[in-house]
Amino acid sequence: MCLIARINTSELGQSLYETIHYLQRTVHDAFKLTYSHRDILQTPIVIFCPLLKLRLTFEPFHQKLILVEILLESAESETTVNFTYNAHWITPKPSFAKIYNKIFGPTFPGKLNAAQKTYILSYPGISFKFNLDSVGEKAWEQLKASQTDLNLLNVDINHNQVLCSSISVYHGAQSWERFAESLQCILKNVVHSASAGSPLATLIRPLNGSSRLQKLYVNLPMGHARFVFQDGHDTTLVLGSTTQQEVLARLGPPEEAFRKAHSSGLLIHQLANGPAPSTPRGEFPLLEAKVFHNYFRYGCDLMYDTSCDASSGGSPVLKKIVLHSGVVDSLDFMRWEKCNWCIWDPKGTLSQYNLPETAFDWVEEGALQYIVNSEMYFAEVAVNGTGAKKPILLDRNETEFIHDLEIIDSSEYLSQGERESVGWEVEDERTKNWGQTMLYGSRRCIWEVLISNDSISSVVVF
């Protein structure tokens, strides 16, 4: 079977959420998702698609595509794949001479790896890796001595063909070596920042003119949520003030909406209006239904209070915002887009403090010491004084979409010896706690934290 895949630099910067949903719609074959279970916020996320021989790498902080690799020597698929890159037709396993003379032309000298017997030829945004196992001994010694493109070109033309084994597409670097060095440096020296000018931004291709949500800033003491989009426009919602009609006009319709009635005895925090009235016998009455809007594309949910008064014009008022961090280990993963949220809380939610003159002065001033964001573990948040109390275990069987998941017991298919040989005893221990979270409450936030790695799965702001 022969396939044609188009790889454009415009694909870089796409989110993990968009990419997986696209592969599910268009590539009718399994793909593998690899990530670090323990260091989930410091290690890139990788998708491998055997059918297309593609390996896609996403940075872990915002889950944006930063590297596309085409593995031309992959033995896992018998499918022949022809690639086009920015209108350049690349046949399967192109030779060094064809790339150097016909497709891209001369460039800066490449990099020879004598230990692996490979050669990397780099152009801005794309690199080609060549396997030199087919090169004769005499030619190999000449290559090690000179390490020049012209010498390798001479070998390709006059001796055995030097074929390309893999192609790498990236953004923001003139060569593969600079890209790899920049990525390693950023992953080792992560600075949590609300600013868009972070070092990581140099490796992520900006998607200008896009209606995607770039950042969601929350001013916790004032209850303001500012949605900033990639096309440059922004809008601010105010808890307890903005109506459902206003939200729909600014954010558009949600993907899903539903109503849900709760007993006041089940509330885990108290609304600002005081305790709900009880019956003469001390029983909790049913409260009016709450309206939930799921914005999967923005990675957030909005909850409205239907007990509105005349001041809101009869439209439900925004009461809560749920921010989903898109952590791979969480039950929210792939149901919501990752929301890159940033919460400002100057002295902890249990203290009194002066409000800024405007809701988002802190964004321009860069008040990093008061910022909590989606790139942090919960242990880092606690240092900033969330006022979190003793946590509550959240039963994953009570989630609304647990019926879509099936946990398979490996003992049904493998013997004890087979289980030990492949290390499934460890996997079973992870399965027991997979998706399990703890809830930590503070005055205006509820933090859902994964037990497995202390990452923040979601935040409820009210």
| Model confidence pLDDT, tens digit, residues 291-314 | 899 999 999 999 998 876 545 567
Specify which residues 257 forms β-bridges with: 293
Distance CA 12, CA 205 (A): 6
Residue 423 half-sphere exposure, CB side, CA atoms within 13 Å?
A: 3
Per the model's pLDDT, the better-predicted residue between 83 and 221 turns out to be 221
pLDDT of residue 110: 80
Cβ 114 vs Cβ 143: under 8 Å:
no
Name the percent of the chain lying above pLDDT 90.
19
Matching residue, tokens 């990530």: 35
pLDDT of residue 438: 87
Count of positions (residues) in the chain: 462
pLDDT of residue 354: 43
Specify which residues 73 forms β-bridges with: none
pLDDT of residue 460: 93
Helices and strands per DSSP (H, E), number in the chain: 10, 24
DSSP label at residue 101 = I
Does the pTM of the predicted model rise above 0.85? no
pLDDT of residue 312: 56
pLDDT band at 58 (very low <50, low <70, confident <90, very high): very high
Mean pLDDT, residues 261-273 = 46
pLDDT, the chain, mean = 73
Mean pLDDT, residues 33-44 = 87
Mean pLDDT, residues 223-250 = 92
| Model confidence pLDDT, tens digit, residues 178-203 | 888 888 777 766 544 434 445 556 66
Per the model's pLDDT, the better-predicted residue between 346 and 345 turns out to be 345
pLDDT of 340 > 80? The answer is yes
| Domains of the chain, CATH where assigned | 2-181 (2.60.460.10), 208-461 (no CATH)
Cβ 289 vs Cβ 306: under 8 Å:
yes
pLDDT band at 339 (very low <50, low <70, confident <90, very high): very high
Q: How many CB atoms are closer than 10 A to CB 306?
A: 15
Question: Cα 177 from chain centroid?
Answer: 24
Does an H or E element contain 89, and which? Answer: strand 88-90
Mean pLDDT, residues 109-135 = 84
Cβ 65 vs Cβ 16: under 8 Å:
yes
Name the percent of the chain lying above pLDDT 70.
62
pLDDT of residue 323: 96
Amino acid letter, residue 408: I
Cβ 456 vs Cβ 447: under 8 Å:
yes
pLDDT of 267 > 60? The answer is no
Residue 137 half-sphere exposure, CB side, CA atoms within 13 Å?
A: 0
pLDDT of 359 > 80? The answer is no
Distance CA 127, CA 29 (A): 27
Matching residue, tokens 């020879």: 112
